[in-house]
Amino acid sequence: MSDPFDLSDDEPVPAPTGGARPRASAATPWLDGLNPEQRQAVETTEGPVLVLSGAGTGKTRVLTTRLAHILMSGKARPWNLLAVTFTNKAAREMRERVAAMVGPAAEQLWLGTFHALGVRMLRRHGKLIGLESNFTILDTDDQLRLLKQVMEAARVDQKRWPAQALMGSIQRWKDRGLTPAQVNAGEAGDFAAGRAQQLYQAYQDRLLALNACDFGDLLLHCLALFRDPQHREILADYQQQFRYILVDEYQDTNVAQYLWLRLLAQAHKNICCVGDDDQSIYSWRGAEVGNILKFEKDFPGAKVVRLEANYRSTPAILAAASGLISHNEDRLGKTLRPGDDTRPQGDPVVIRGLWDGEEEARWVVEEIEARHRDGTPLDQIAILVRAGFQTREFEERLITTGIPYRVIGGLRFYERQEIRDALAYFRVVAQPADDLAFERIVNVPKRGLGDATLQAMHVLARARGIGLVAAARELVTTDELKPKARATLGALIADFDRWRGLMPAMPHADLAQTILDESGYTGMWRAEKSPDAQGRVENLKELTSAMEEFESLPGFLEHVSLVMENDEKTDVARVNVMTLHGAKGLEFDVVFLPGWEEGVFPHQRAMEETGLRGLEEERRLAYVGLTRARRRVFVSYAANRRIYNQWQNNLPSRFIEEIPGESSERLADKGLFGGVSEQASGWESGWGGGYPSQRRRERIIEDAVSEYKGSAPKDGYAPGDRVRHAKFGYGRIQSVDGNKLEIVFDTAGVKKVIDSFITPA
């Protein structure tokens, strides 16, 4: 058989044959095993094609087979194909799969991430915009350091106008393909008295002077080259070269990526974009779901192929996910169905209502133990949460139970930077001799106490045989430090003394919040404008909430020390704990989806900031969560949850209502929301005529609360009072803190509850 790629540069490529299927399947063995939808997506090679690939529908196979089909059919040489992915891992996997079908020719494909392909182009043509071919690419830390230098040179007050905030704006402008000249006054806002555009330009000038780029430049500079009227031949050459363009995860493209692709596709228009508008969940990092929604307008005459045969999940899970996502209005529309008609229906999605977050964590871990006893490996079980701060209760329960776990895409809760910093503050307050803790936070946030100050403390501590805090206390009474450093260190020591003095009288959770606020640590993260800054603030609030469960600050610190001693063997299977965003693209046998409550999921901030658009992205995130599971899904919510040191009564997420009753099994404790039955298929028997609408849910909560409040004692509750709780039964009040009561129940043990949920016995 002749090699279809053994063509001289001047030998014409065989004329395209449109989307026609090859005459004999024997001549196209690479198409064997494809279902009709997949085969259509592979063989429709000419003209614009949008492949809507639902979760678990064999997208990767379609992508690689399409590339191989174009090559094996002789439609183009390898270097005439441009294939774009979002991750290096996806690019490697795609190249390996194509190589298995076509051989060494796969190495000549233009295949890679947007960034990698942008670098390749700039190495060739960057000199035209002032970049040498050996330019460097700055990482995030270097970018920020350079911008700080630019702002310092411009005499911008970086305490008032943090560099991190401007860096975030510059990244967003680059994601939208905007050069400094294209950023108008409205875009720039009032940052640094309206100087953001000027600072952006100065930052770009410094990058060029250093022969460097940041990641946003890799496409921004390409767009500048493509649009430059003096170098029209560059775009024209690439347009002619790339006969076929294939794009993975098109729903995640930003504006700059979209513009880059559109320019390159204008000559041949053989662009195939594969994606799923129902899985567009990254708007917070610049992704524009509108790119995939308007594909047919951008490319008139486009063919749309829907991959709806799912080979991952059970029919019950698919029905639940499809029913949920059908409530989104802004979508192209598709319905997942089983790829195998003989597959059993499977267990319904379990939806469980619990009293509070602690009980939710206990229930989830008990179910994990049950699934493991039934033969499910631990590494095929996942807990997927909406936000990182939610992992703490599950981590602690897993540790207590002795179940190994790993946090994917992040650190364990108590290993996160902001948590370790906060704990260091608390340790110094509780134990002034803790040198390691004091050294960690003496200059966090930055106070001007640098290496010289720290060295002076160490020298004195060694000479006198005392701890660092004691050394600092003596040092501020001498002239060894510069006046500013001496004053700052003295003020810090005074703060620690004052906080330590508050320990006997102030509740330790309140003291912890006071320490974080007065030290400036919380404010440091609030001022930070990086994508993960808000998550760090939420983690700090979760930390102080967790302290409510312990009698004292030292008791809590002892607990944390024991938790952090958890064995970290790497050779055992572990339960996977991660955020829903981090789970995209993964799959597990069993998936737990906790925290499905209004304000938690859908997240309140997402709805407040972007309205219906934010709500629909939250619903897509829920859809992603459901479709990660192969066999079982467990959704849970808590009627009461401690959030940011406050007990809150929560409504079940609207997403629960949107999961079809016939594909779910609803379980809830009696007394929850005014009376839910122990088990019901659908909400009918438990909720008295169907799952409540938003208005009815609000009324149910109000009625339940008012029912309890009506019989509360006039003078309130006091320690020693005998009371009754709808769920926990009879008990005696041990302590009172505002509306929060600590009660020793006869059968349920010690619980903290809100006074509106108990009645005098």
Largest CA distance in the chain: 96
H/E stretch holding 175 reads helix 163-175
CB-based contact 629:420 (threshold 8 Å):
no
pLDDT band at residue 566 using 50, 70 and 90 as cut-offs: low
Span 480-494, average pLDDT = 90
Span 558-563, average pLDDT = 73
Measured CA to CA in angstroms, residue 449 lies from 328, 457, 469, 504, 579 at distances of: 53, 11, 14, 30, 37
Helix or strand or coil: residue 245?
Answer: strand
Joined together, the tokens standing for residue 438 give: 């004091």
H/E stretch holding 553 reads helix 553-564
Mean pLDDT taken over the chain: 85
- Is the pLDDT reported for residue 87 higher than 50? yes
Joined together, the tokens standing for residue 445 give: 């946030």
Helix or strand or coil: residue 212?
Answer: strand
What secondary structure, in 3-state letters, does 104-142 show? HHHHHCEEEEHHHHHHHHHHHHHHHHCCCCCCEECCHHH
Q: What residues contact 321, with CB distance under 8 A and at least 6 apart?
A: 55, 313, 336, 623, 626, 627
Measured CA to CA in angstroms, residue 756 lies from 322, 718, 759 at distances of: 39, 14, 8
360 is annotated as an active-site residue = no
Q: What is the pLDDT of residues 576-622, one digit of tens each?
A: 999 999 899 899 999 999 999 999 999 988 888 888 999 999 999 99
Q: What is the pLDDT of residue 535?
A: 86
The H helix count followed by the E strand count for the chain is 30, 24
721 is annotated as an active-site residue = no
* Residue, of 190 and 258, whose pLDDT is higher: 258
CB-based contact 409:400 (threshold 8 Å):
no
Out of 345-359, 421-435, 702-716, give the one with best mean pLDDT: 345-359
- Is the pLDDT reported for residue 97 higher than 90? yes
Amino acid at 129: I
Give CA 435 to chain center in angstroms: 35
pLDDT band at residue 329 using 50, 70 and 90 as cut-offs: very high
pLDDT band at residue 39 using 50, 70 and 90 as cut-offs: very high
Q: What is the pLDDT of residue 564?
A: 65
Span 334-342, average pLDDT = 88
Measure the CA angle with vertex 458, ends 457 and 459; round to 5°: 95
Measured CA to CA in angstroms, residue 77 lies from 70, 246, 453 at distances of: 9, 15, 64
The whole-angstrom separation of Cα 461 and Cα 663 is 67
- Is the pLDDT reported for residue 761 higher than 70? yes
The whole-angstrom separation of Cα 540 and Cα 645 is 11
Enumerate the domain spans of the chain: 31-124+222-307, 136-210, 325-404+572-668, 414-527, 721-760
247: nearest Cα among 28, 62, 15:
62
Q: What is the pLDDT of residue 747?
A: 67
- Is the pLDDT reported for residue 559 higher than 80? no
The whole-angstrom separation of Cα 96 and Cα 109 is 12
pLDDT band at residue 230 using 50, 70 and 90 as cut-offs: very high
Bridge partners (DSSP) listed for residue 85: 113
Active-site option among 60, 241, 431, 648: 60
Active-site option among 59, 174, 447, 697: 59
Q: What is the pLDDT of residues 655-684, one digit of tens each?
A: 999 999 999 999 876 656 543 433 333 333
Q: What is the pLDDT of residues 513-534, one digit of tens each?
A: 999 999 999 999 988 877 778 8
Residue ranges with strand state E in 278-432: 303-307, 309-310, 337-338, 349-356, 381-385, 405-407
Active-site option among 371, 574, 619, 628: 628
The whole-angstrom separation of Cα 334 and Cα 276 is 10
Joined together, the tokens standing for residue 129 give: 């915009």
- Is the pLDDT reported for residue 251 higher than 50? yes
The whole-angstrom separation of Cα 459 and Cα 531 is 40
Sheet of 303-307: strand order equals: 110-113, 81-85, 244-247, 271-275, 49-53, 303-307
Q: What residues contact 257, with CB distance under 8 A and at least 6 apart?
A: 114, 219
The whole-angstrom separation of Cα 508 and Cα 557 is 11
Measured CA to CA in angstroms, residue 185 lies from 170, 196, 200, 609, 757 at distances of: 14, 9, 13, 22, 53
- Is the pLDDT reported for residue 463 higher than 90? no
Q: Which CATH fold would you assign to the domain 414-527? A: PCRA; domain 4 (1.10.486)
Q: What residues contact 23, with CB distance under 8 A and at least 6 apart?
A: none
Other C-beta atoms lying within 10 Å of the C-beta of residue 749: 10
217 is annotated as an active-site residue = no
- Strands 212-213 and 309-310 come out as unpaired
248 is annotated as an active-site residue = yes
Other C-beta atoms lying within 10 Å of the C-beta of residue 33: 11
Span 415-438, average pLDDT = 89
Q: What is the pLDDT of residue 579?
A: 92
Q: What is the pLDDT of residues 713-727, one digit of tens each?
A: 656 888 888 888 866
561: nearest Cα among 666, 434, 664:
434
279 is annotated as an active-site residue = yes
Joined together, the tokens standing for residue 178 give: 């905007």
Other C-beta atoms lying within 10 Å of the C-beta of residue 5: 17
255: nearest Cα among 176, 173, 189:
176
Q: What is the pLDDT of residue 698?
A: 38
CB-based contact 614:621 (threshold 8 Å):
no
Span 176-194, average pLDDT = 86
60 is annotated as an active-site residue = yes
205: nearest Cα among 135, 134, 133, 150:
150
The whole-angstrom separation of Cα 458 and Cα 621 is 51
CB-based contact 85:112 (threshold 8 Å):
yes
Measured CA to CA in angstroms, residue 139 lies from 142, 282, 284 at distances of: 5, 21, 20
Within 13 Å of residue 651, how many CA atoms lie on the same side as its CB?
21
In CATH, which of 3.30.565.10, 1.10.10.160, 3.40.50.1370, 1.10.1740.10 is domain 136-210? Answer: 1.10.10.160
Number of residues that make up the chain: 761
Active-site option among 43, 46, 217, 249: 249
- Is the pLDDT reported for residue 17 higher than 70? no
Q: What is the pLDDT of residues 201-216, one digit of tens each?
A: 999 999 999 999 999 9
* Residue, of 657 and 343, whose pLDDT is higher: 657
The whole-angstrom separation of Cα 327 and Cα 330 is 9
Phi, psi of 560 (to 5 degrees): -60, -40
Amino acid at 531: P
Q: What is the pLDDT of residue 708?
A: 35
Q: What is the CA radius of gyration of the chain?
A: 30
Q: What is the pLDDT of residues 616-627, one digit of tens each?
A: 999 999 999 999
- Is the pLDDT reported for residue 360 higher than 70? yes
CB-based contact 428:496 (threshold 8 Å):
yes
Active-site option among 175, 248, 358, 359: 248
Measured N-to-C along each axis, helices 391-401 and 533-546 cross at an angle, to the nearest 10 degrees, of: 50
The reply to whether 31-124+222-307 and 136-210 are identical in fold is no
Other C-beta atoms lying within 10 Å of the C-beta of residue 129: 15
Q: What is the pLDDT of residue 748?
A: 67
Residue with tokens 């409550």: 597
Bridge partners (DSSP) listed for residue 742: 735, 752
Active-site option among 113, 279, 453, 579: 279
* Residue, of 453 and 3, whose pLDDT is higher: 453
The whole-angstrom separation of Cα 57 and Cα 339 is 8
Q: What is the pLDDT of residues 289-319, one digit of tens each?
A: 999 999 999 999 999 999 999 999 999 999 9
DSSP string, 589-637: EEEEE---BTBTTTBHHHHHHHHHHHHHHHHHHHHHHHTTEEEEEEEEE
105: nearest Cα among 6, 174, 181, 39:
6
Q: Which CATH fold would you assign to the domain 325-404+572-668? A: Rossmann fold (3.40.50)
Measured CA to CA in angstroms, residue 118 lies from 176, 224, 690 at distances of: 16, 12, 55
The whole-angstrom separation of Cα 254 and Cα 172 is 10
- Is the pLDDT reported for residue 702 higher than 50? no
561: nearest Cα among 436, 680, 709:
436
The whole-angstrom separation of Cα 165 and Cα 462 is 41
Q: Which CATH fold would you assign to the domain 31-124+222-307? A: Rossmann fold (3.40.50)
* Residue, of 287 and 433, whose pLDDT is higher: 287
Give CA 238 to chain center in angstroms: 35
